[in-house]
Structures are given as C-alpha cells and as structure tokens.
Chain A
Amino acid sequence: MLSCADFLAEFGDYIDDTASSDLRAHLEEHLRECKTCRVIVDSTRKTIDIVTESGCFTLPAEAVDPIVSAVMSRIRQRTT
C-alpha cells in the first residue's frame, strides 16, 4: 500500500478527477486505511471551492467600463 508521503505526492490528479483508473485504485486503497489523508483530501477540495468562489481578486462589474474606455481611448489616440 502507498505511504502517506506517496499519497500526498500523487493525489493532485485525484482531486482534479483526472487520475488513471490504476492510480485511483491505489489512492483509494490508501484512503480506506488512512484517516489523516482522508481529512487532507476533504479539506483540500474545500480549499479549492473556497478559493474558486471567493472572488477575492475579481474586478467589480462597475469597474469594467472605465477600463474598457481607458484602453480604447489610448488605442485610438495611438492609431490616429
């Protein structure tokens, strides 16, 4: 069976759901036996959800127009 270190090195594809069936089987075999790695998988998935949905670096909708205007104005200035 995989060690925890091996599991942690390999579980990226498992989280992204792109692991081959062989790898998935090995990882799941480890997970059945290892509570710590189960916690890490669960909390990593939650981390990804939180980061993806947080919008922490999102440009507010009202800021889009000013950027579009500024860019287009500079482009038109340069091309005329």
Chain B
Amino acid sequence: MSQSATIFNDPPRSYPQLIATYGFLPNLFRAQSTIPRAIEAEERLIDTVVVCQGRLSRGHKDAILNGVATVRGSDYCRALFGHSLAAVPDRNFALFDFSLKLAKHGPWVSGRDVLTLKNSGFDERAILEAIVTTGVGLMLCTLADGLRPRLDTELRSPAPAELLNVPDPLDWPKASGVHLAFSSDSAVDSPAFAVLREQFGYVPNLYRLQSAVPELLDAEVQLLDSVLFPEYGLNRVQKECVLLAISAANLNTYCATLHSQALHILGVPLEESDRIVEDHDQSGISGTDRTLLDETRKLASLPGRSSQRFEPERLRKQGFTERQIVEAVVVSGLANFLNTLQAGVGATADFPPRKIFGPKDLYLFSDRSRPISDATFPEDPDAALVARVRDGDIDVFEELVRRHSRRVFGTLAGLLGNIDDAHDATQEVFLKAFENIGRFQGRSKFSTWLTSIAINAGTDFRRQRRPLESLDETQDDEGFRPRQVQKWADDPERLLAASQMNGLVREAVLRLPEKYRVAVLLRDINQLSTEEAAAVLELSVPALKARVLRGRLMLRESLAPHFVRQDKTDA
C-alpha cells in the first residue's frame, strides 16, 4: 500500500457547512481541530447521509440519530441531534425500530430484518439510508465518548425511557450474506474504486455493494482517505490494528477479516492478527500499542455503553501526542461506522474468515459479564479472593485455581473427550481468567464466568482439531423419541462396579451431540443452576431447559439396556 492518494481537493470549507447544518460550530468538531481533513470528511458524510434529501425525510433521519444517541447513552449527541430537530421526531415507523436494533445489537441484524422492512413497503434505498444514518450516529457518539466535548446546548429533556429498553435479541443470525446491494458495473473505473484498489489491493465487497450510490461511496472513501490512509500521527498499522480490535469487539466477522488482510498486506502475519482478535495482550505488539488497543476497544459500539470510559491519560503516559489521541478516537469512530454499515447491508467476506464470531465471543471482549440479573445469584463465595487478585495479590489466585480446577477440568474433559487435552486446556483457561480478571465485574459468580471461559476455550480447541459441530446449529434430532420404555432396576448403581459405571457414563455422554452434551455437563456434572448454565451458553432459560431435557433423555436411552429390570414385574 502506498501513502494516501488524495483524490478530493476541495478547500477546507467544512466549518461554514457545519454551521449551516447545526446553526453553530459544534464542540465535537472543534475538538478535532488538529485533524482538519477528518472534520471535512465527516462533514461531507453528514451532508450526504443526513442533510441531502433522499427517500427518508430529514425528520426521519433526525429521529434515528436521536434514537441512536439515546440507546448509546450519549448526552452530548442527544443535545446535538435534538438541536437540529425541526419538530418532534416521528418514531412510529419500522425503520426507526430497525435502526435502534442495528445501533444496539448490530451483529444480530439479519437478512430477515431487512426482508421484513421490504415487505412493509420500504424500498432498498430507504433501508440503506436508515443503515447509513445509524452508522453516522454511532460514529458521532463514539467521537463524543472519546473526545468528551462540552455540551453545545442544554439538554431539553431526559432520555425517553421507552428507548432505553431496546429488547435483547433472541437468535444469532444463522446465515451470513448480502442483505442489500446497489452494485453497478459503471463504478469499475471510478476514482473511489481506484483508491480502494490502491490501498487494499482490491475493492472490498462492502464498497462494491454500494457502487450504484456514488455520492455515498465517494463520501465513505473520502473518510477512509482522510482518517485511515494518511500516516501523519498514528501509522497505518496502528490504525488497522484499532479497526481490527474494534471489529472483533463488535463481533463483526466481515470487518475483522478485511482488516486482518489489510494488516497482512502491511507485513503483519495473519497469526498475529488472530492474537489481536482473541486477546491483544497476548499478541506481539508493543506495550504502547497494547495500551492503544486497550483504550480504543472501550469505544466499541458493543455491548452498548461500556462501563469503562476511554482514558486518554493512559495514552499520554505512553507518549502519545494529543493529535494521535484524537486520531485514535476518530479511527474508532470510523470502525464503528463501518461495522454498523456492514451489519446492516450484510456484505460477505472477501476472504475465508479466520474466525467467525458468535454471541459467545461477546464475553471476553466485554467489560461486563453476561446480561443476567444480579439477583439471580447468591453471594459469590469467591468475591473476596477475586478482589484481592484484582488488587494485585497474584498469590491469592492459587486458591481460586485450587477451588475450581476440578470443575474446569470436568467441563473440558466432557467437551473434548480426551484427558490430556483437558489437562492442557485447563491450564489455558486459568491463564486466560487471570489475564482477564480486570474485566470481570462480578455480575455473575466467578465460577460461572470461569465456566464460560472453559466452554469458549474447549470449543476453540475442538475447532483447531476438526470441523466444529456448532453448539448453535439445529441438528437433525427433531425425530427423537424415547424407545426404551422398560422399567429400570430399583438400584441401578449397584449393578456395575464403579469403574465400569464411569466408563459407561463417559461413553454415553461423549456420544451426545455437542449442544446437548454441554448442557448436561453444566447442569448435571458441574451442578450449575439452570440460570447459570443458560448464562454460560447465552441461551434463554427455556432453551437451556429444552437442551438439558433432550440430553438427559438421550442419555437415558443409551444407558437403558444396562439397567432395565430383568424380571417382568409391572410398575
């Protein structure tokens, strides 16, 4: 890749245009004055997406922007967007709900959501406008989170409560694919495509899909050309690492794949990108860059508003200049914009993904534990030890390993079916727990959190060895019905020696399809409560119960021939 190839040579007229848009020059843009090109590119995107008349009215777009700022918890943006509202926004349209889902639960948006909108009468252009408006809203909220500008105007009202409760999504989309496409052959020779080819070596599908909307494509490429490609402050590798880390935190398989490849072209091995995706602390990047990713990852748009705020002071201590810190925030805003755009339009990966994200991956990237009520759990007996480890008393971790090694091993042995692998994986789970203990917020029991790590580690371990039998995919077991209906002996445990019994149960458990096996492991072998097991597997309680019951019935079927009563006495 070469240095930036600027194709847009307009003079810096963004301030007057911003004043025309908002009625004043918002502090959010003043705070970026060290990077005037970024301000220009942002202004152009805002003008193209929000100000210019399209299928959606300005009122509809302002309503979406307000909704995004509300679910994101950005008071600054609520005040900013509210200021530009001509009237009370119309929230009673399906695109508004779609945009809120995209803003809060982007990875859960599916082709079905888009199809529902089409069936409701919205054309593809209107849907695209809603998607891009949501992306712009999230980008500006990210900038406000990182730069913390003073409010331009007072907030006129508290956040509308009904918007703060966007329902949690139920199902992870089973299929990835294109939701919307505006491809045009005439764009092949466009200047925007030329820039993309020069920088990436090809035109990524995300941009190719928008080729029939040249004004939007140009605005997006200007943003890349002004924020990502130049190497005045942060270098390109650092910026691509930020894009990769945030895409991973946002569970965006497409964008993580794209930026891994971009780093590869810049000389960063794919394996190094894999480590950044999994846990940048374990990658080979410098301590300075780890801090950069620590902080920018906090600006990721998932899971909603992070409880940990971006801390520019940590970056200053590492020697980053003020300009570089602003640039880090702007690149983070770009990452959230691109992730949102991709989640909405659904571009398919340009290369085979190194990792396909699922809801389980939310866990390690989140600074909070799973979204379950504190009241679900009794007081955590490990809380005091965990607090001491978090305060730096490393030796105390030994007691936590001692307390939980058998449970973790049991989970992994049941998942992997191999004792040696389970031994190795157990060590890795505790190391990972130690490294991430700063992110454990105590909203579940420590043991539950640890079990989640074990499930993720075991699943990854299996993935490395053979094609994965997904925990989430529906398997062809709908026809399962109990066939063994003879009465069992009164005391089946006495029929076999303990070692025989262990072998029998072990084989039966390992024969279960993985999704039922894991459910049974957590409930009946690890003795987790239904709620804890559901939280670990990120299932609803009814879904977890259904899997446990099916798993138990399948086990019963396997064990029955060994335990049926030999006499024919009736029940």
Which residues of A approach B to under 8 Å, CB–CB? 8, 11-13, 15-16, 18, 35-36, 38-40, 42-44, 46-59, 63-64, 67-68, 70-72, 74-76, 79
Instruction: Evaluate contact between B486 and A39: CB separation under 8 angstroms.
Output: yes
Contact A71–B401 (Cβ < 8 Å): yes
Known: A39-B487, A72-B397. 13 other contacts (CB 8 A): A11-B549, A35-B570, A39-B488, A42-B571, A43-B560, A44-B556, A50-B493, A52-B524, A59-B406, A59-B410, A59-B426, A71-B431, A74-B427
| B405: Cβ under 8 A from any A Cβ | yes
In the complex, chain B residues whose CB is within 8 Å of the CB of A56: 502-503, 505-506, 509, 525
Cross-chain contact of B402 among A12, A64, A74 (Cβ < 8 A): A64
The contact of B552 among A18, A36, A48, A68, by CB within 8 Å, is A48
Contact A72 B401 (CB under 8 A): yes
Binary interface encoding of chain B residues 401-427 relative to chain A, with 1 for a CB under 8 A from any of its CBs, else 0 = 110011001110110000000110011
Question: Number of contacting residues on B, CB 8 A?
Answer: 54
Residues of B481-507 whose CB lies within 8 A of A: 481-482, 484-488, 492-493, 501-503, 505-506
Nearest CB of B to A26, in Å: 17
- B492:A39 contact, CB within 8 angstroms: no
Which residues of B sit under 8 angstroms from A53, Cβ to Cβ? 493
Q: How far is the CA of A16 from the CA of B549 in the complex (A)?
A: 10
Contact indicator A67/B423 (Cβ below 8 Å):
yes
List of A residues within 8 angstroms of B502 by Cβ: 54-56
Q: Are A46 and B563 in contact (CB under 8 A)?
A: yes
A68 CB to closest chain B CB (Å) equals 5
Q: Footprint of A on B, CB under 8 Å?
A: 394-395, 397-398, 401-402, 405-406, 409-411, 413-414, 422-423, 426-427, 430-431, 434, 481-482, 484-488, 492-493, 501-503, 505-506, 509, 520-521, 524-525, 527, 530, 545-546, 548-549, 552-553, 555-556, 559-560, 563, 570-571
Rounded to whole Å, the gap between the CB of B328 and the closest CB of chain A is 27
The 10 closest A-B pairs by CB, nearest first: A12-B549, A56-B506, A59-B409, A57-B413, A54-B505, A57-B410, A47-B556, A56-B502, A43-B488, A71-B430
User: A36 touching B485 by the CB < 8 A rule?
Assistant: yes
Chain A residue contacts of B398, Cβ below 8 A: 68, 72
Would you call A50 and B505 a contact (CB within 8 A)? Answer: yes
Query: Could you name 5 residue pairs across A and B whose Cβ atoms are closer than 8 Å?
Result: A39-B486, A51-B524, A58-B409, A72-B401, A75-B431
Contact assessment for A49 and B493 in the assembled complex, using a CB-CB cutoff below 8 Å: yes
- Residues from chain A with a CB closer than 8 A to the CB of B521 are 57
Least CB distance from A3 to B in Å reads 12
For the complex, what is the distance from the CA of A58 to the CA of B408, rounded to whole Å?
Answer: 10
Whether A75 pairs with B525 at a CB distance below 8 angstroms is no
Which of B406, B506, B549, B563 makes the CB contact (< 8 A) with A43? B563
CA–CA, A36 and B484, complex, Å: 10
Q: When the two chains form their complex, are residues A35 and B571 in contact, meaning their CB atoms are under 8 A apart?
A: yes
Bound form: Cα–Cα A25–B486 in Å? 25
